Chain A
Amino acid sequence: MERRCTTLKLTKKAHYASRIKRAAHLLFFKHHKMPGVKGWELKGRLGVNYPRIISLLNSHLEKLDLRVKTVFEEGTPTGKPSGRELDRARFYVTLRGTLEPREARMMGWRIDDMAGLATTISTIIANQGRASREEVEELLREKLPNWRVHTNMDRYRRAGYITEDEKGYLYLGWRTRAEVDEKQLIDSLLIEQETATTDSPISVEDEARADSSLIEQEVD
């Protein structure tokens, strides 16, 4: 009887281990145009108990400073999400912690690009989730050259950070909802003390380093 129990326990463990592996494969590798997997897809591949498997995978990923992020279609539910909400949600693997400026630069993000993205996102959030492109571009032009403003806006749009409607209004895109802690961004902006009105020369040096790192990446 005891041996049977042990065998059952092992079988259950093996079952979960294989499901966790399958979940990792699904979440890490891009299967569609967009990264991430829908809840109903996970249900199809992992079974109805997929939230439990995702939770187990999440605890494994914690050691690697990663996490499974669930983005609900209609905003984060206040209580425990229903099965329907989970099925319609999209699951991504994201970084649990944050990146150092140096790491971000090595990923091909210049200070200008990040500052421009932060400005765009926070302006949209502050304007109830919708801001006119002209308004945002005008704000960006205060610190970035005109040609870079256009290039960056297109880059953010292509990457999914923002979307634009036919009337020229910008909205937060799927990637912002998956990657950016909107509250943290707004709060830290408000808390931050105004130190200087002009950019320090260090940023110029950093940008030069960022450029050279980009060139190195291109060469690779």
Chain B
Amino acid sequence: MTLEFLVASAIGILVAGGIYLALRGRTFQVVLGLTLFSYAVNLFLFAAGRLTLDRPPIWSKTVTEYADPLPQALVLTAIVITFGMTAFIVVLALRSFLETGSDQVDGDDAPCTLDEQAKADATPEPHT
């Protein structure tokens, strides 16, 4: 088995898990799905620089071969941004749960048309 195969298949598995979870009906699962998906995306971006062993991009007069620094720089900020996005979605999910009492992404009865939605919005929600 080559390292390339391991990375590619890991990306594939993470994407599959991410898609499946993102399609679930509860907010927490969607967050998990996005987390898996972000891992995969970051790995994929990183892999664009190809896999290099033991040659970190720390410049030195004596070294001529390095790992590609550019994807690394991009992925580094991507990881931090991923955190920002995850945190935002988690908080959004929490707020919507507290606001509606439901943790389903489409609401409890998942209205399917705008008219029904408007009707549902118009009826005042009993305060618990």
Whether chains A and B associate is no
Which B residues lie at the A interface, using CB under 8 A?
Answer: none
Which A residues lie at the B interface, using CB under 8 A?
Answer: none
